[in-house]
């Protein structure tokens, strides 16, 4: 409970970009986008102890349908509920359906998303490169 009291979730701002880049670089399992590109999407950051602790970025692809593009938490702050709170807050403020792709080998992420109610809907063969790997497509319907 104390951890969540010190956590604030807000919209991404340009001064957050260096921290986002650092978190993303420390998470090789996450998508490696140019953080500046996130300014064009709907991106929320989690602030813990006055520093960016994690982020989630998504885009609306249709009315009431969202694609989660990336989610990452600073390595030193993982397994404290920050990712769950970031994604739960995002979904609570934007009801609809959500989908995402996750590397087939990223079992921890797959379990994380399943715990939040996402279900596997299909597999995209050789979706990822560097290294090449299939993606598991997951979907969530929220009210």
Q: Which pLDDT tens digit goes with each residue over 38-83?
A: 999 999 999 999 999 999 999 999 988 999 999 999 998 888 889 9
- Average pLDDT score over the chain: 89
pLDDT score recorded for residue 32: 80
Rounded to two decimals, the pTM is 0.87
| Contact assessment for residue 58 and residue 66, using Cβ atoms and an 8 Å cutoff | yes
- Per-residue confidence (pLDDT) for residue 12, from 0 to 100: 95
Give residue 87's pLDDT: 92
Residue 60: partners with Cβ closer than 8 Å, 6 or more residues away: 42, 66, 94
What is the pLDDT, as a whole number, of residue 89?
92
């Amino acid at each position: 409970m104390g951890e969540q009291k010190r956590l604030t979730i807000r919209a991404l701002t340009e001064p957050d970009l260096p921290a986002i880049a650092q978190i993303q670089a420390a998470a090789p399992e996450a998508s490696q986008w140019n953080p500046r590109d996130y300014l064009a999407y709907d991106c929320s950051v989690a602030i813990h102890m006055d520093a960016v602790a994690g982020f989630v970025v998504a885009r609306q692809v249709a009315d009431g349908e969202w694609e989660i593009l990336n989610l990452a938490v600073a390595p030193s702050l993982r397994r404290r509920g920050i990712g769950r709170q970031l994604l739960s807050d995002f979904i609570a403020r934007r009801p609809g359906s959500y989908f995402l792709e996750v590397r087939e080998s990223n079992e921890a992420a797959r379990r994380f998303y399943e715990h939040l109610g996402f279900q596997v809907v299909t597999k995209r063969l050789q979706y990822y490169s560097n290294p090449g790997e299939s993606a598991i497509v997951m979907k969530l319907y929220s009210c």
